[in-house]
Amino acid sequence: MAEQSPAIKPDAASVPNGNAGRHQGFPARGEPVITGINRIGLWSLYVKEVRRFFKVQTQTIWAPAVTTLLFLVIFTVALGREGRMVLGVPFGDFVAPGLIVMGMMQNAFANSSFSFLSGKIQGTIIDLLMPPLSEGELMTGIVGAAITRAVLVGFTVAAAMLLYPGVHLHVREPWAIAWFGLMGSMLLALMGLLASIWAEKFDHNAAVTNFVIAPLSLLSGTFYTIENLHGVFQTVSRFNPFFYVISGFRYGFLGSSDMGGADHVAWAAMGLLVLNAVLAFGTYRVLRSGWKLRS
């Protein structure tokens, strides 16, 4: 009978288990491999989200420019006749900045609200929850991609408006354009992320868009100044955060605003920062709790 070789027992030092794993270059069980910010994972998520809307850029970037330009044509023809002046400028110059930032905000909401919702419906939500990303990194990647889409839409809409006769976009306060554009996009991106966590089907998300986002956008002074409203409705308008985004963004182009002078614009800028910080903290806590994300 052939001689059998003795069984070889693995050495404890070669087994990556417990402290023995330390000798092979492995961390002890339970020790985090990634410390601090997972920059590679965060960047990968951001690029994934950007590539997603770039694949259908005709719908996500160029179509909003056409839609917003149609708004401009309709309202300038209907309300801007006979050289109507608003805040000391032609009506077309007054309404154009509001339409630009309104398009930015709506597309920021649409982009972030699609991420989790599509994953929940298609059963691919694990692709977002399984990677080694913290809740803050997950939120940052999705919100950052939504803001990127909003900025691209803003540039596209502005370029389209420059082609429309009678509309002039003069930059008076660049900081206001950048600040209120980014703050408004972040506000809607966070709201879209919360809506996608809450929603269980596309009808729920559409309900938020139609009954919350659209009314707040259209009743925020985009096509009028709140001075034309009754006192009660002026007070209601001043509780609408969209009003401050649109008025502040318009201030960057016109150098004047219906919310007040430069000091009022500065207070509105700080108020939006505080509002976004509170909303970001709330979104982070919801993500961390796993509400409607984990079974």
> Is 90 exceeded by the pLDDT of residue 182?
yes
Residue 166 lies in a domain: yes
Which domain, by its residues, includes 227?
Answer: 36-289
> Is 80 exceeded by the pLDDT of residue 6?
no
* Residue 2: predicted pLDDT: 47
Residue 9 lies in a domain: no
83: left (phi over 0), alpha (psi -120 to 50) or beta: left
Residue 17 lies in a domain: no
Residue 28 lies in a domain: no
> Is 60 exceeded by the pLDDT of residue 14?
no
Q: Using 50, 70 and 90 to split pLDDT, how confident is the model at 12?
A: very low
* Residue 177: predicted pLDDT: 96
């597309």: which residue's tokens? Answer: 107
Lowest-pLDDT range, 23-37, 119-133, 137-151? 23-37
Joined together, the tokens standing for residue 64 give 């909003």
Q: In terms of Cα–Cα distance, which of 176, 42, 63 is closest to 110?
A: 63
pLDDT per position as a tens digit, 68-79: 888 888 888 877
Q: What's the whole-number mean pLDDT along residues 219-247?
A: 87
Instruction: Supply the DSSP string of 270-287, one letter for each residue.
Output: HHHHHHHHHHHHHHHHHH
The phi, psi pair for 36, rounded to 5°, reads 75, -140
pLDDT per position as a tens digit, 92-110: 889 999 999 999 999 999 9
Residue 29 lies in a domain: no
33 contacts 27 by C-beta, under 8 angstroms: yes
Residue 12 lies in a domain: no
Q: How many residues are present in the chain?
A: 295
Handedness of CA 256, 257, 261, 262 (dihedral sign): negative
Residue 107 lies in a domain: yes
Joined together, the tokens standing for residue 190 give 């966070």
> Is 70 exceeded by the pLDDT of residue 272?
yes
How many domains, the chain?
1
Residue 249 lies in a domain: yes
* Residue 43: predicted pLDDT: 95
